[in-house]
Structure 1
């Protein structure tokens, strides 16, 4: 548990991938809990028009492609008041580490899930460090704690997000910045529509993430499956590795 606790009321946030799934739910949760402004990043900001109509000037849709350094630079120019950065943008392709296209799939996942996260975060680091009570939230996955063979290269990149989160936390230990890792299980989104498992809702995940900000949680297990796996992982990570190894597509 961190000493930094973030009440979203009156805060300014940026959510990457904020137009659908978990990202959209986070945008709504922050606004409903009193955030003064939420920048919602999306490759096509027009997809946020319905939310814009509902929340007005408190919601700022932004064109954001985390794989494009120029796109990130343009967002930084506009969003200089950000206090909460939520790295939610991600991609998922079902594959195997031993498939012929594994290297190609890995590069695809890496560009968004890892390089995009680092690029966006580093672009905002200076301003987050300069303000009191700020936060970086990285959406990883349970697959980042143990590889799932049906999503092999995705799992590798989400493991990298887990390590990156630890790295930022260490480097910012003397700053007033909460660094939180989020480890969802299967969630009912377009991204996971082909995953044949019981799924929790994006709304429950979003609520858990904002609850985590308020409590200063460094690790958030936001849904039914992840809350169980999180406890087990803390005591017996090898058992989780063996269980996840059975999830073969």
Structure 2
């Protein structure tokens, strides 16, 4: 059953809100009339422009998802949040034939996986019994099929995909909308250096994500490439693995 969400009656807490996908979703929510966004970032200074643009509806928060004290403090300040968007992430490259494989895996898992766990577990008690309760987490299409050129990142996003499913199962008898967001390559700092791949705009992604949340969508494929991957994965998952394995 879909749980439709009223954006105008919501208050959001977003990690990694200072740039890229997080910044675009933050602005889209504010442009759609959300009551308030707690915008989390490691450096408060990086949120200054957003705060100046949106005024009192944009609440800057120091938030480092790798630090439990920082997470706990942010959740305490954002105690009226009805929506959590787990967006903060890193992309550390490394494969089995590189010396930095374990270092890459450790960094990706610490931020992309354990960071999501820390923030979700801390915020859940405040969110789960509120109207419009939503927990949306950014995974990736590469969580469904691994690209050898960024093995550690893909592994972490596969773990995030599984975590989304586990959380949804745990909360299936509640009113919480648990959504996974599975972008393809997006024009952000994280995607710099990608060659031969068409990048979608973060603003386009944000519009599609917010619309999908309003409609109560659980699995959100918000750009052109991810929509194509969804079709392939839904019928022949092995083809996604084969497709991604050629991108090196």
Partner of 2:216: 216
CA shift for structure 1 position 95: 2.0
Partner of 1:205: 205
- Structure 1 SS opposite 2:212: helix
For residues 97-112 of structure 1, what are the structure 2 equivalents within 5 Å? 97-112=96-111
- Structure 2 SS opposite 1:185: coil
8 Å contact from structure 2 (residues 133, 175) kept in 1: yes
CA shift for structure 1 position 204: 1.0
CA shift for structure 1 position 195: 1.4
8 Å contact from structure 1 (residues 96, 150) kept in 2: yes
Deviations 1:173-219 (A, max 9, x none): 01110000011111000011111111001011111110111111100
8 Å contact from structure 2 (residues 10, 132) kept in 1: no
Question: Is 1:12 the equivalent of 2:11?
Answer: yes
Q: Distance in 2 between matches of 1:203 and 1:12?
A: 20
The gaps in structure 1 that reach 5 residues or longer are none
For residues 137-148 of structure 1, what are the structure 2 equivalents within 5 Å? 137-148=136-147
Partner of 2:232: 232
- Structure 2 SS opposite 1:191: helix
Q: Distance in 1 between matches of 2:125 and 2:35?
A: 21
- Structure 1 SS opposite 2:152: helix
Q: Which moved more, 1:88-97 or 1:199-208?
A: 88-97
The gaps in structure 2 that reach 5 residues or longer are none
Q: How many residues align?
A: 247
CA shift for structure 1 position 133: 2.3
Please report the TM-score for the alignment, with normalisation by the length of structure 2. 0.98
Deviations 1:80-139 (A, max 9, x none): 001110000000022213322111110000010000000000001111112122100010
Q: Which runs of 4+ in 1 moved over 6 A?
A: none
8 Å contact from structure 1 (residues 89, 112) kept in 2: yes
Q: Distance in 2 between matches of 1:9 and 1:244?
A: 39
- Structure 1 SS opposite 2:179: strand
8 Å contact from structure 1 (residues 144, 155) kept in 2: yes
Partner of 1:48: 47
Please report the TM-score for the alignment, with normalisation by the length of structure 1. 0.97
Q: Which moved more, 1:92-101 or 1:35-44?
A: 92-101
